Amino acid sequence: MSKVGFVGLGIMGTPMAEHLIKAGHEVSLYSIPSVPESLVAAGGKACASGKEVAQNADIIFIMVPDTPHVGAALFDANGIAEGLTAGKIVVDMSSISPIETKQYAAKVQALGCEYLDAPVSGGEVGAKAASLTIMVGGNEATFAQVKPFFELMGKNITLVGGVGDGQITKVANQIIVALTIEAVGEALLLASKAGADPAKVRQALMGGFANSRILEVHGERMVKRTFDPGFRIELHQKDLNLALSTGRKLGVSLPNTATAQELFNVCAANGGNAWDHSGMVKALELMANFEIGQQA
């Protein structure tokens, strides 16, 4: 049994922490506004602050929405940093800025502690099933110490490189996902407006080189008009903002990422913040004045 901590118990963090508890570890918990009762009932210990979590644990996991939330969890009054002592490990599993990740890591390392950035892909379904893809940045020895805990939460676990490399991998993942959603949406919309059955078009494409997980899962959502999340558009907007801002700082142009973000912005302007990100197709449909599946 190990002493671990978990800060940030939303739709992702709660099942991830639950896996650690069920594996028999002593897990200290903190979240705003409160620690879920289900985790306490399962054997977790609710704490009054991130500081208390860090005092109780040797490895502290963070799973919060965005870059400022990680900074606050670490460095605000009664935050995790105030409870750290030399030799402890901080593991940020949020999806945040790769550049600020390096700054946060430097502050934690100055306290004599280690830092891993380990964002995930797989969403709520993957968190519940312990099948997340985990992309890790940090040193190899620290990764080896934490890997048994990652294996309780995910399946595809890769040490990509140094601190920050996990976050840049997640940003790259979100670019590919967004652009593939856009491509699938364009293709099915064109086929549908031309009079073809979009469900059969999708089925045919899944047998060829155009096949992808996006075509399989989100193509079906587009055809069946099921846009309950999943992964909310507002969260994907946040990730693409990270991509675009990092690109600007590094002098890298991301023209198609910018287009995908504008399509998400159209959805948000039409009440779609909480749609599944496959709902990007609705922005394309607005421009075409036609919905997939509509009679041509």
50 vs 74: CA distance, rounded Å: 8
Q: Which two tokens stand for residue 175?
A: 């670019």
Q: Which two tokens stand for residue 134?
A: 């985990």
Buried b (16+ CB within 10 A) or exposed e, 14-28: bbbbbbbbebebbbb
Strands (E), 47-87: 59-62
Q: Which two tokens stand for residue 114?
A: 């280690």
Q: Which two tokens stand for residue 76?
A: 């605000």
Q: Which two tokens stand for residue 269?
A: 């302007």
Report the candidate in 52, 79, 61 with the shortest Cα–Cα distance to residue 19: 61
Residues 6+ apart with CB under 8 A from 110: none
Residue 220 and residue 202 in contact, taking contact as beta carbons nearer than 8 Å: yes
170 annotated active-site: yes
150 vs 23: CA distance, rounded Å: 12
* Residue of 45, 51, 88, 170 with catalytic role: 170
Residues taking part in catalysis: 170
